[in-house]
Structure 1
Amino acid sequence: MIDERRGVLYPERMPRFHRLPPEPAAGHLVAWFWIPEWELGAGERSRQDVVAYPALNLVVDPSGVQLVGATTTATHRDLTGCGWAVGALLRPAGAAALTDRPADLRDSWTAVPAPELLGPVGDAMGRTDENRLGTAVTIMSRWLVERAGPLTDAGRQANAMSELLMTDAEVRTAEQAAARLAVSLRTLQRMTHRYVGVPPLAMIRRRRLQEAAQRLRDEPDADLSALAAELGYADHAHLTGDFRAVLGIVPSGYRQQL
């Protein structure tokens, strides 16, 4: 199981955070739901830095419903006051039900006109009973199932592609991924473009970078050269370059900030 906070760069800054599975009928559409809640005092601010999974997210919060695309760099959000969000980390089959041009949403988002989703989810999150989070997940799961329709063979293959690239540490190149999936490299590239909006190598690099950041949090004394080799980087400089390009900081600097 993937750590729910693997992409969170500074977990100690996180507000209350919940991770819930989708309803079984939506399991092919959503990897999991993530639900942060926060209540900060006057003048307080909590900065949340994230290096997100290479996937699209459907997010409901009090301001509306958004479809958020894959990102190419670390992102942040400054939390103030009181609030909540209910996000669905979409599998490719789920993303395809909401857009046929995910590349257009790279490092961006678009509003989804869905008052039939916003109202009920907002009502659920406004309750105080212990089932409110599960109710919000049920509402979004069922909405997505109705929107998506039956799972197609193409959607099933795209889900397998994403699962491989996001979780398998043995896959370090796009060529290896294509071979594991028994497709051509060109087919793999078309698949990631159609369902995620970024190239397969970008998905692999994002997974490795998340793993590297998590290892630095869990093992602050880890040798950076050994860590780079273990995660499939060519050398320490390669790991440092990846960190700087995406996080805007080198591994040693990140470790000092922790």
Structure 2
Amino acid sequence: MPNRLAGKTALVTGATSNIGRAIAEEIAAEGAHVVVSGRNPERGAEVVDGIRARGGRADFVRADLDGSAAASRALAEEAGRVLGGRIDVLVNNAGIYPADSTAETDEKTFDEVYAVNVKAPFFLTAAVAPAMAEAGGGAIVNLGSWIARLGIPVGALYSSTKGAVETLTRAWAAEFGPRGVRVNAISPGVVLPSVPGEVHPAETMMKGTPAGRMGTPDAIAKAAVYLAADESSFVHGIVLDVDGGRTTAAVIAA
């Protein structure tokens, strides 16, 4: 089913690498005009050039989503301008992940992680969702994480921010769904770009799972397209686990 997003416009945050880049590329491949957003213009240009080389439509908009309402509003306004006055799809992907223990986490880090991972998507959604509703509808896809629901001994701060994002997903579905804006989330498992011949230490976290391996960014990107496209028009407020079964099946490691 090609061109599932033909004629649509999309804003993807944190789109210059890894999962965000894959999502931007996949959404563009499905026919949408995509704003690639991030902090690094060089990496942004690389993503945009790649999309255009494959016949897609993309532009880069630099944004430092520091959690301030002003930064989120500025991105919404500039992306809307570049996309011709409307945003049909918003993907809240940008985030930071310090793997510190609780005792090693200082207050500055705490505030920064909540600013980027929770405040920024909160105020960006606040800026975009009402305009979507006024234009007749749209779709918002948030990025959660498997460790929001399955504890691991590092990264408690990050885990808690993703728990907040998943809660916001359900709240926003209730708030904006009746106005034509669908809000859902994806909960990725252990996902990293594959490197031939290289075994990443994170592989150990997927041993004994149904998939038995790490995921790759394109798996998350395909899920994002599904949640953004009309085929999921009856899907509201879910957290779609794309984690190789990490959180749904007992892990029995050999």
Scaled by the length of structure 2, the TM-score of the pair is 0.33
Scaled by the length of structure 1, the TM-score of the pair is 0.32
